[in-house]
Amino acid sequence: MPVSQEMPHNDQPSLLRRMLLRVSPVRAAASAILLAGLFGLLAYLLLSRGESARLVDTPAGAGDASPGIHTGDLARDFEALSLRDVESQNLDNDRVRLSDLRGQPLVINFWATWCPSCLAEMPALEMQRRQHEDEGLQILAVNVGEDRETARAFIERLELFDFTIALDPDLTVADAYGVRGLPYSLFIDSDGVIQAEYRGQLDDETMQRYVQAAIKAAPGAEPESRLRLVTTVPRAHVLDVQLDEAAANRVLFTSRRFRCDDSYCAGPIQERVLAIEGVTEASLASEAAAPSLAVTFDAALIDFDTVVAAVADALRAVEDPLYTRELQIRLPDG
């Protein structure tokens, strides 16, 4: 299993050379077959469980609002596994798509079981839902970074049966919406337009005012400045490195830092890497489920170690509002 490693000093043997020297052809082939089988099994399990959320194209709304994540925008669409009714026995294959909830006012609330502020405001959210049931108010509670069993066990204890719970275990939706801390709430009208957004634990007065903004399709006023309880979302800052078996001078780098959304885009990182002498191509796949950067280089001008170090430096040089921890590099031989 790969672990975090620091880059070697220049006087140490090349990482690529050391890997090739200590792995015989027979062992390498056997390892490749084993890894392929394990990755295939992992992919099958992930697909069959369907837990990963995904971003989807946002259908046009009734007005002229463009897709986005802030007040005045048409809420960016996504699809996720949903625990619609925790009393039901059929919890495993139910999915919810945000755009399917249009037609009624909606609160999206990002939360986690380890966030005290999230749990403190949930009863107030449920009270708002009940008070405005005749107006069709819905609550979509997006669980951030946890699996279905954790979220389900908590909701069953809490007995908030009328929440729709969406799971975002790998932070796909949280990243797309720029969720730095929890709780985070969006108030959306029946046409799918965001009328208010709030970071931190909502007080009753602000919550009520923003719920009314969603119901009446009128922008909510900025709340008064006050101390807000916000729990930072833990995000590992990881760069995975993989050699291309078909081309010795091509390396695939995978990281959530290669994404491109409303709050951040990896384009500047790609530009920095392309400017490195010896790099001939840098292809960015920002919309992939696992955002990546494929780098091709001229082995006569630059080696594997230098390419890895250069991409890591490019990541460190470009600020990301979500991934701020120290960079960890995971190399292919562990």
Closest by CA to 142, choosing from 74, 100, 96, is 96
- Predicted local confidence at residue 234, as pLDDT: 87
Please say if the pLDDT value at position 145 is more than 90.
Answer: yes
54-232 topology per CATH: Glutaredoxin (3.40.30)
Q: Tell me where in the chain the CATH 3.40.30.10 domain(s) lie.
A: 54-232
Q: Tell me: pLDDT of 14 over 60.
A: no
Confidence tier at 108 by pLDDT (50, 70, 90)? very high
Q: What is the CATH number of domain 4-14+235-330?
A: 3.30.780
Please indicate whether residue 179 or residue 229 has the higher confidence score (pLDDT): 179
Chain centroid to Cα 173, Å, comes to 5
pLDDT at residue 20, as a whole number: 35
- What 3 state SS string does 215-284 have? HHCCCCCCCCCCCCCCEECCCCCEEEEEECCCCCCEEEEECHHHCECCCCECHHHHHHHHCCCCEEEEEE
The residue among 123 and 40 whose pLDDT is bigger is 123
Confidence of residue 160 (pLDDT cuts 50, 70, 90): low
Q: Which pLDDT score is estimated for 146?
A: 94
Residue 135 pLDDT: 96
Q: At residue 38, does pLDDT exceed 60?
A: no
55-82 pLDDT, tens digit per residue, is 999 999 988 999 999 999 999 999 999 8
Q: Point out the least confidently predicted range of 156-170, 246-260, 312-326.
A: 156-170
Tens digit of each residue's pLDDT (9 = 90 or more) over 202-231: 999 999 999 999 999 999 877 766 777 788
Give the pLDDT confidence score for residue 302 in this predicted structure.
95
151 vs 229: which has the higher pLDDT: 151
Q: What percent of the chain has pLDDT over 70?
A: 80
Q: Is the pLDDT assigned to residue 184 strictly greater than 70?
A: yes
Q: Given this model, what pLDDT does residue 279 score? A: 97
Both tokens assigned to 23: 């792995």
Q: What is the average per-residue pLDDT within 185-198?
A: 97
Distances (CA, A) of 120 to 17, 112, 116, 124: 55, 11, 6, 8
* Ranges 27-31, 161-165, 282-286: which has the least confidence: 27-31
Whether the Cβ atoms of residue 279 and residue 307 lie closer than 8 Å to each other? yes
User: Residue 255 in contact with residue 239, Cβ under 8 Å?
Assistant: yes
Sorted by sequence, the CB contacts under 8 Å of residue 239 that are 6+ apart come out as 253, 254, 255, 257, 311, 312, 315, 327, 328, 329, 330
pLDDT score of 17 more than 50 = no
Given a cut of 80, whether residue 179 has pLDDT beyond it is: yes
What pLDDT shows up at residue 250? 96
Location of each CATH 3.30.780 domain in the chain:
4-14+235-330
84 pLDDT tier (thresholds 50, 70, 90) = low
Q: Three-state SS for 214?
A: helix
Q: Residues 237-284: pLDDT tens digits? A: 999 999 887 888 999 999 999 999 887 899 999 999 999 999 999 999
